[in-house]
Amino acid sequence: MTSRHAQASCLLVCSANIRGIFIGKFIVTQAAGHTPSSKSFIVSPGSNLRGQMTVPGDKSMSHRSIMFGAIAEGVTEVSGFLEGEDSLYTLAAFQAVGVRIERGGPGEVSLHGLGIDALKAPSSDIYLGNSGTGMRLLTGLFAGLRVPCTLTGDGSLNGRPMRRVTDPLAQMGAHIGTTDTGTPPLVIGQSEKLQAIEYTCPMASAQVKSSVLLAGLHANGKTVVHEPAITRDHTERMLRGFGVDVSVSGLTSSIVGGQALTATSLRVPGDISSSAFFLVGAAMTPGSELLVKGVGMNPSRTGVIDILRLMGASIEVENLHETGGEPVADLRVTGSQLKGIAVPEELVSLAIDEFPALFVAAASATGTTVISGAEELRVKETDRIQVMADGLRALGADISDTPDGAVIVGKRLAGGIADSCGDHRTAMSFAMASMISDGPITVLDCANVNTSFPGFAQIAAAVGLNIEERE
């Protein structure tokens, strides 16, 4: 992608028409498109990260806890729920279809599920902000439940590819309208009960797999999904926690339609994707000693740890235990000089959301790091390969982007200005790059950090990142 195209992609992320909705005691800002925000991070060079910390609840699991609790029979109690914008939009979506939801203390949600027959068509479009997970999973779930509705989002989400879910759902009998280019808004129409299919995913995507399985939960017959590589399995694990029989064999998952969910209680662990910025920041700076507590250790999500260890990082797993069918642990990171590697392609799908942070780790390493097989990064909230390459180059990195990754030669950064293009993960990654920079770093367009990590700057400052927020 050329620099001009990258700028156009950045502008697509950032557009205009703000409105707010009230969810319990939280206000969530809605944007029909998203203009570049005035919020910036100003980050001065740092030497190490020290102390202990926790990160917000896992975003993927927070989405699913609301979806499954809302359609279960009985009251589901959720703790550790991520109070970020993405997951709050999912919560609002189920309020819109008639589910009674109560808020307790921080991260506490009670869902009074009355089963699938209690859901009703919403009175207006369901707005999902910047949430690709919410969009794709709700499309499968609502299509299977035959809940007519329109799903829409901000400028970034409304530019993301959705045929990867609407095509297999159409094979099941769903009626879903898209734009001519296959992007949202998605109009889910009335249809007959869906029919189970056997589907082979052309790309490794937990969102596609989950969307088809959730449609299959309410289809006639047995729905089977084959994947080309391992992806996160939160859907399969959590459905079992709600009493659903889901079969997994190797790269194949299947579900028999007609099963009902039973309410349960669950705790959402800390998000390993949010932990990744701190794992990288501490691992790449000698003198760092950081303990990140209560992190979800689902084996389909730990690729970032495996890759950092291959680069020479010292990361110890402590206090490993299980909560709600998910492994959880504390991670102790000791800083050192990382080394460049060729990232094994079999680990790419296990760390796809963590690659913006891993780009920074590669920029700190001695030698050359080669990332390939990561073309999925080009269709995230932004083209993350291009945004990270452009931003790191602006900070003085030696990086060449490729169609499916990048080649990065490690060196100290000079500092400067990096544009996150409104992407929460690139914004936090550029902030952490200050740990290997000789000059201050300004990160532009940082408001969307609240989609996954509210309070990032304050938590980061408490363990040694020299960061301030400016409007």
Give the model confidence (pLDDT) of 221-241 as tens digits.
999 999 999 999 999 999 999
- Per-residue confidence (pLDDT) for residue 66, from 0 to 100: 97
99 and 72 in contact (C-beta within 8 Å)? no
Q: What percent of the chain has pLDDT over 90?
A: 89
161 and 183 in contact (C-beta within 8 Å)? yes
Domain boundary among 267, 299, 333: 267
Between CA 186 and CA 162 the distance in angstroms is 8
- Per-residue confidence (pLDDT) for residue 117, from 0 to 100: 86
Residues 327 and 412 in one domain: yes
Domain boundary among 239, 267, 295: 267
**pLDDT band per the 50, 70, 90 thresholds, residue 194:** very high
Between CA 309 and CA 459, with CA 385 as vertex, the angle to 5 degrees is 60
Between CA 219 and CA 371 the distance in angstroms is 39
Would residue 7 count as lying in a domain?
Answer: no
Q: What percent of the chain has pLDDT over 70?
A: 93
> How does the average pLDDT of the chain come out, rounded?
92
156 and 130 in contact (C-beta within 8 Å)? yes
458 and 389 in contact (C-beta within 8 Å)? no
β-strands 314-323, 326-334: how paired?
A: antiparallel
Structural domain range at position 453 = 36-57+269-470
3-state secondary structure of 374: coil
Q: Which two tokens stand for residue 348?
A: 């790419």
- Per-residue confidence (pLDDT) for residue 35, from 0 to 100: 64
16 and 35 in contact (C-beta within 8 Å)? yes
Q: Is residue 15 predicted with pLDDT exceeding 80? A: no
pLDDT tens-digit profile of 272-315?
999 999 999 999 999 999 999 999 999 999 999 999 999 999 99
Helix (H) or strand (E) holding 145: helix 132-145
Would residue 222 count as lying in a domain?
Answer: yes
Residues 92 and 107 in one domain: yes
Residues 258 and 366 in one domain: no
Q: Which two tokens stand for residue 245?
A: 């029989």
- Per-residue confidence (pLDDT) for residue 312, from 0 to 100: 98
Between CA 101 and CA 94 the distance in angstroms is 8
CATH number of the domain enclosing 249: 3.65.10.10
**Tally of domains in the chain:** 2
Report which of 37, 20, 1 is spatially closest to residue 427, judged by C-alpha positions: 37
Would residue 10 count as lying in a domain?
Answer: no
Percentage helix, strand, coil, to 5, in the chain?
35, 30, 35
Residue with tokens 């001695």: 366
Which residues have a Cβ under 8 Å from the Cβ of 22 and sit 6 or more positions away?
Answer: none
72 and 313 in contact (C-beta within 8 Å)? no
Residues 233 and 370 in one domain: no
Beta bridge partners of 419: 444
**Exactly one of 58, 86, 154, 353 is catalytic; which is it?**
353
Between CA 61 and CA 90 the distance in angstroms is 12
- Per-residue confidence (pLDDT) for residue 116, from 0 to 100: 87
383 among known catalytic residues: no
Domain boundary among 250, 267, 284: 267
Would residue 22 count as lying in a domain?
Answer: no
Q: Is residue 147 predicted with pLDDT exceeding 80? A: yes
Task: Give per-residue burial for 156-189: e unless 16+ CB within 10 Å, then b.
Answer: bbbbbebebbbebbeebbbbbeeeeeebbbbebe
- Per-residue confidence (pLDDT) for residue 23, from 0 to 100: 39
pLDDT tens-digit profile of 51-97?
999 999 999 999 999 999 999 999 999 999 999 999 999 999 999 99
Helices 355-364 and 384-394: crossing angle in degrees, nearest 10, is 30
Helix (H) or strand (E) holding 136: helix 132-145
